[in-house]
């Protein structure tokens, strides 16, 4: 599938719409102030009508399900054909039906990541081993498509197709193995499911971590709406089923200076944010993990965390003012590097709002 041109009905603009089949290219990226940005691009999102959508008007459907844009935007998008049903322009009062295909053509802005390269450590015919930088998601998800490990490797190294064998959280750096064909990926999957693959992580945590080996056996309950997990101990004496999935992690202290500790983390199971939430549960969250650092953490070690809590509050303040300064700078200078779309709710900014 190739990029396809169409003329916007209302604005008379000739636009090149991209689909997932269009690979990222080196010129898609803008580097500024230590960050890798993606030049905004036109993209076609395709979805099929879900049962809960049936019977709603096309505008109400989008306004209720995709609240990131105002109601008036969706009215205009339907009128000018940027939202279509089964490839056809429909009126704003159109009632959607089961199994129909809905296309949303929009000007897409991706969040920035750190301007670190993806280092290829070893390239074999069937396997690629790389060092994933922090802040970059592994594969397309949410607002990210080109600003991903897979996208950057395709754009800057010409490596495609790639099949991630395992994932690391967006904020985590480390060794990442990708298969270069589907059969090799399936072989790795079988080995992981059979327990033949072990993972080790090293984390810098808050406080003086206990010297003895710690095993945390606490369920992990992931809330996709909030994007975070919580830990809970299984109560064997109760008939009430636990909310989360069983999870177990082994921790071994490598070193400590009294304020922070370096800890070896070995997950026995693999749940969303397992290591992060289990470290939080011990009272020793990862030192720069803003999602799980909390002023209300119960410290289970002998020493308190008042100094670290004060540092967290200070870090929040510094982070907020730094982000505001960067955003102001981007808004002032970004418009000259890409064409402005008159309907886009993010233009003229390079960084997406929200």
3-state secondary structure of 76: helix
Catalytic residue among 169, 217, 328, 341: 169
CB 159 within 8 A of CB 214: no
CB 284 within 8 A of CB 301: yes
3-state secondary structure of 73: helix
Angle among Cα 270, 275, 281 to the nearest 5 degrees reads: 125
Calculate the alpha carbon distances from 249 to 148, 150, 277, 300 in Å. 28, 28, 10, 17
Distance CA 208, CA 217 (A): 21
Write the burial class of residue 36 (CB in 10 Å: 0-12 exposed, 13-18 middle, 19+ buried): buried
Rounded to a whole number, what is the largest CA-CA distance in the chain?
A: 69
CB 283 within 8 A of CB 314: no
Angle among Cα 344, 143, 286 to the nearest 5 degrees reads: 135
Calculate the alpha carbon distances from 26 to 93, 152, 155 in Å. 42, 8, 5
Nearest to 270 by CA among 324, 198, 321: 198
Write the burial class of residue 239 (CB in 10 Å: 0-12 exposed, 13-18 middle, 19+ buried): exposed
CA atoms within 13 A on the CB side of 291: 16
3-state secondary structure of 133: coil
Active site residue 169: yes
3-state secondary structure of 324: helix
3-state secondary structure of 122: strand
Distance CA 296, CA 283 (A): 10
For 6, the enclosing helix (H) or strand (E) is: strand 4-7
List the catalytic residues.
169
């Amino acid at each position: 599938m190739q990029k396809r041109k169409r003329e916007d009905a209302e604005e008379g603009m000739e636009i090149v719409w991209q689909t997932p089949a269009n690979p990222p290219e080196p010129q898609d990226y803008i580097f500024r102030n230590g960050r890798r940005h993606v030049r905004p691009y036109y993209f076609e999102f395709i979805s099929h009508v879900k049962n809960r959508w049936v019977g709603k008007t096309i505008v109400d459907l989008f306004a209720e399900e995709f609240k990131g844009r105002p109601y008036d935007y969706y009215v205009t998008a339907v009128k000018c054909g940027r939202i279509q049903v089964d490839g056809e322009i429909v009126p704003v009062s159109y009632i959607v039906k089961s199994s129909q295909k809905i296309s949303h053509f929009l000007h897409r802005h991706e969040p920035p990541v750190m301007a670190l390269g993806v280092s290829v450590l070893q390239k074999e015919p069937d396997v690629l081993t790389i060092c994933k930088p922090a802040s970059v998601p592994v594969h397309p998800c949410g607002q990210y498509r080109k600003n991903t490990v897979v996208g950057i490797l395709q754009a800057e190294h010409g490596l495609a197709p790639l099949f991630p064998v395992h994932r690391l959280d967006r904020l985590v750096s480390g060794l990442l193995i990708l298969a270069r064909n589907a059969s090799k990926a399936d072989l790795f999957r079988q080995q992981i499911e059979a327990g033949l693959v072990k993972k080790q992580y090293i984390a810098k945590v808050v406080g003086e971590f206990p010297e003895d080996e710690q095993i945390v056996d606490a369920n992990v309950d992931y809330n996709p709406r909030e994007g975070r997990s919580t830990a809970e101990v299984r109560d064997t004496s109760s008939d009430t089923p636990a909310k989360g999935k069983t999870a177990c992690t082994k921790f071994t202290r490598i070193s400590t200076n009294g304020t922070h500790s370096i800890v070896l983390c070995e997950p026995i199971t693999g749940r969303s944010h397992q290591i992060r939430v289990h470290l939080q549960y011990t009272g020793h969250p990862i030192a720069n993990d803003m999602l799980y650092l909390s002023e209300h953490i119960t410290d289970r070690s002998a020493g308190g965390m008042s100094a670290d809590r004060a540092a967290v509050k200070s870090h929040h303040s510094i982070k907020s003012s730094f982000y505001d300064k960067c955003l102001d700078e981007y808004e002032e200078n970004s418009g000259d590097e890409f064409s402005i779309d008159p309907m886009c709710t993010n233009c003229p900014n390079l960084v997406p709002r929200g």
